[in-house]
Structure 1
Amino acid sequence: MRVVTVTVSDTRTSENDTSGRALVEELAEFTCVRRELVRDDPEAVREVLRRAAEDADAVVLTGGTGIAPRDTTFEAVTAMFDRTLDGFGETFRRLSWDEVGPRAMLSRATAGVVGSMLVFALPGSTNAARLGARALVAPLLVHAVALLRSPPDKESR
């Protein structure tokens, strides 16, 4: 599985991007094609997804999923989704509740499909990135990509 990890932030640099590092560590069983850092800007996020579609099975983003005015990752990725994986965000918030309580409800973590590529958007905190990658993305990735690659079943038409 080929994965691109992306940190969405106006303040992080390659030196202090602990969330991006956490994604790479938690997804070490997969091939990290690229690790990117983009600003909190919807067009920058959409552009990184377009580039990733050329050589990745999945993109995992961290940052920009909250409710602050500059948090626009959710809007950027969901506008591109062909299909939404509602259970991803729901499950992430349930798992987060154990660590951060009611603040879990402020997360707009989400996942979906863009073409034949999976897209996961996680909060920017290092703990949230680590939790989402370890508990949700890593266990789901192989099976989900296999489903996306499977030929249509003639019986299901």
Structure 2
Amino acid sequence: MTQQPHPDTSNYMVTCAVLTTSDTRTTETDTSGQLIQDLLNAAQHRINYYQVIPDEPTLIQSELSTLGQRDDIEAIILNGGTGIAKRDTTYDVVEKLLTKTLPGFGEIFRYLSYQEIGSRAIASRAVAGVYHNKLIFSLPGSRNAVRLGMEKLILPEIIHLVKQL
């Protein structure tokens, strides 16, 4: 059971953007992006933007720059591109844009992943932080990783973190 030292009693609705970075997925085949949206909706948050884009640094940076300027977005949740393969560039772009990092997000995500998949968890470069006064969470693209990150880390803390900003 997840403990919350400061439970959020309000029913605040966070406005979110969901961005999938993938060279192979489309909006029709993006089961991880759909899972993020389903979990956000179930928690009564709002999705004001959803897109699938290639794992291409200039496209990711441009998309995040645009989302960073929007007043109707409080949190951006990305999935995909966090591994170490040549085409996995999402982490590199996101990490450079963050003005504040939440190191505990990646650390705890890898710890929880280790409990599920063992030593392969070291290959994950999940990261979170702040960009243009918005929360950014970047998760691996697998459905299991998305479910883990959303249920164990993002959903329990998103309202608290948004209120901190």
TM-score of the aligned structures, taking structure 1 as reference length: 0.91
Aligned partner of 1:23: which letter? I
2:93 equivalent in structure 1: 76
* Alpha-carbon distance in structure 2 between the residues aligned to 1:112 and 1:145: 11
| Selected match of 1:125 from 134, 139, 142 | 142
Aligned length: 148
1:111 equivalent in structure 2: 128
How far off is 1:46 after superposition?
A: 1.3
* Alpha-carbon distance in structure 2 between the residues aligned to 1:44 and 1:127: 26
1:152 equivalent in structure 2: none
1:21 equivalent in structure 2: 34
* Alpha-carbon distance in structure 2 between the residues aligned to 1:44 and 1:141: 26
Q: After the TM superposition, list the runs of 4 or more consecutive aligned residues in structure 1 that deviate by more than 4 angstroms.
A: none
1:84-110 CA distance string (max 9 Å, x none)? 110000010011112111111100000
* Alpha-carbon distance in structure 2 between the residues aligned to 1:10 and 1:35: 16
* Alpha-carbon distance in structure 1 between the residues aligned to 2:111 and 2:26: 30
* Alpha-carbon distance in structure 1 between the residues aligned to 2:158 and 2:58: 26
* Alpha-carbon distance in structure 1 between the residues aligned to 2:66 and 2:147: 24
Provide the secondary structure at the position in 1 that maps to 2:98.
coil
| Selected match of 1:12 from 4, 19, 25 | 25
1:155 equivalent in structure 2: none
TM-score of the aligned structures, taking structure 2 as reference length: 0.87
- The answer to whether the Cα contact below 8 Å between 1:27 and 1:134 also exists between their aligned partners in 2 is no
What does 1:1-157 align with in structure 2 at a 5 Å threshold? Answer: 1-28=14-41, 29-53=44-68, 54=70, 55-148=72-165
How far off is 1:133 after superposition?
A: 1.2
How far off is 1:26 after superposition?
A: 1.5
How far off is 1:140 after superposition?
A: 1.0
- The answer to whether the Cα contact below 8 Å between 1:88 and 1:111 also exists between their aligned partners in 2 is yes
Identity %: 44
Instruction: Structure 1: state its 5+ residue gaps.
Output: 149-157
Provide the secondary structure at the position in 1 that maps to 2:112.
helix
> Over the residues paired in the alignment, what is the CA RMSD in angstroms?
0.8
Instruction: Structure 2: state its 5+ residue gaps.
Output: 1-13
How far off is 1:18 after superposition?
A: 0.6
